A and B are shown apart, each in its own frame.
Chain A
């Protein structure tokens, strides 16, 4: 089964679950347990990821766990839709936060988004080991590369 257009468009992250929801949710949490429980719950919202897309081309290098990213560019709306998968639950949660911030944007808007600022707002890096931080940056890097390729593609 490959991911259909609908699979991309139905992704609740960035649509039903918004950045405000995540920021508001985080504000109410005051210890690490609640914070991680919240992250893990967000990860449960990641839509199913097609098995045959778990290939090298979609693989994100530099994470401790296995992470894959695929995308769909919607010609009509000019927006970029993403699906992410990982075998680690905390990584799935972090991927969900990234999607809430970046999913369904035009590639230009995506590239203009300062994701580091969001991570700082969420106070994420203070609670995340440097190795995990690198994995997070690798995931964002892969998504930005996809957006940049779309921008370059449409310019031609």
Chain B
């Protein structure tokens, strides 16, 4: 007997999730003989048909290298590629496409910024991150700290999984040069009050970077309103293809930073005596870029623009509320991360069970979640767990899928009892 009696109190989303699911071909399959329930969106989200079609059409009708060919295909490719850049600019509300740099993803974007800022850092300088960062927003800073003698300092996290704002304030000092902070925690789902942190940091002339990888699938950020110097995210978590991501940077800072990689496209003129750099954004885009992927990301954003963003957020909130209500139906289940402001991400443990046991037995029931340390080992240490199980929802998930997760968890719990 499955007890899901609290179901009736849940709010139904107002937008048509069944219709939306039709846009994502991968979702309508069976896994291990059960309908796929994909709850690993925090690791990577699925792609709507519009993205697949845009990439397919690009290769069939317009592929060529960009910014080069004195021919029609070259013009088409360039126009699709630069069109995608403008779509991203609009998505972030950046002032200019000069501020939108293509990278391979969030990780590369942070590495680019860290390396670019390295020449400004000296021994004793401090780089402020938080205890809830993904390794991608810790390790690049540690690497340049090693090179420069600077120090990486973590802002503390409360047991509920919120940033400890007192810790933040007390750590700000005259040696702080960089604040690199995640907008949303990949493990806890916590939405951090980044605007307030940036404001305090800016008042001290500190350079700010926001890791938006987990935020953009749920919220549309406004980089001008946030006031950050850099904002980075990956396409594949935003329902676009893998292999491409975005670095937004304020034009003036980007002008000042040295190039990251050398090669074609990023130069203005090369000679053995003196090489000069191309203008923004190309200065940071050495080599032939991921053109089809840029087009795919543009298509993903256009697809999202066609949805009712408010209804979508309400639906996501309903998913999380429903999940929270059902926690008590699984004996020994405990949520890790109970911040007031959360995206629909639920990290949890079940007494006596290893996360990998939970993941394996959910997979048998067609349910995909993530288990492990989530590339956030410092946070795992903080909670004293080897890892967690994490269900991360997207707007195409349904309340029925939340129910299916809990029915499956009850079964898992019984198997081990």
Residues in B with CB closer than 8 Å to A91 are 354, 356
Are A65 and B415 within 8 A (Cβ)? no
Are A89 and B32 within 8 A (Cβ)? no
Q: Does B258 contact A (CB under 8 A)?
A: no
Closest to B353 in A: A89
A154 to B192 CA separation, bound complex (whole angstroms)? 61
Residues in B with CB closer than 8 Å to A127 are 364
Residues in B with CB closer than 8 Å to A37 are 415
A91 to B416 CA separation, bound complex (whole angstroms)? 13
Residues in B with CB closer than 8 Å to A36 are 360-361, 364, 415
Question: Number of A residues contacting the other chain (C-beta, 8 Å)?
Answer: 17
**With A66-B386, A127-B364 given, is the CB distance from A33 to B415 under 8 Å?**
yes
Q: How many A-B residue pairs have CB under 8 A?
A: 42
For chain B, give the interface size range: 10 to 19
**Distance in Å: Cβ of A75 to nearest Cβ of chain B:** 37
Residues in A with CB closer than 8 Å to B386 are 65-66, 87
Are A40 and B416 within 8 A (Cβ)? yes
A101 to B319 CA separation, bound complex (whole angstroms)? 46
**Distance in Å: Cβ of A45 to nearest Cβ of chain B:** 16
A127 to B415 CA separation, bound complex (whole angstroms)? 16
Residues in A with CB closer than 8 Å to B356 are 64-65, 88, 90-91, 132
Residues of chain A in range 103-139 having any CB-CB distance to chain B below 8 Å? 127-129, 132
Closest to A127 in B: B364
When the two chains form the complex, which single residue of A32, A88, A89 contacts B364, counting CB atoms closer than 8 Å? A32
Residues in B with CB closer than 8 Å to A33 are 364, 411, 415
A129 to B357 CA separation, bound complex (whole angstroms)? 12
Residues of chain B in range 313-342 having any CB-CB distance to chain A below 8 Å? none
When the two chains form the complex, which single residue of B357, B363, B371 contacts A89, counting CB atoms closer than 8 Å? B357
**With A36-B364, A65-B356 given, is the CB distance from A89 to B372 under 8 Å?**
no
Residues in A with CB closer than 8 Å to B353 are 89
When the two chains form the complex, which single residue of A32, A40, A87 contacts B32, counting CB atoms closer than 8 Å? A32
**Distance in Å: Cβ of B116 to nearest Cβ of chain A:** 35
Write out, one digit per residue, whether chain A residues 58-93 have a CB within 8 A of any chain B CB (1) or not (0).
Answer: 000000111000000000000000000001111100
A-B contacts, 7 listed (Cβ < 8 Å): A33-B411, A36-B360, A89-B353, A89-B354, A89-B357, A90-B357, A132-B356
Apart from A36-B364, A64-B387, A88-B357, what 9 extra A-B contacts exist at CB < 8 Å?
Answer: A37-B415, A40-B416, A64-B356, A65-B354, A65-B386, A89-B353, A129-B363, A132-B356, A132-B360
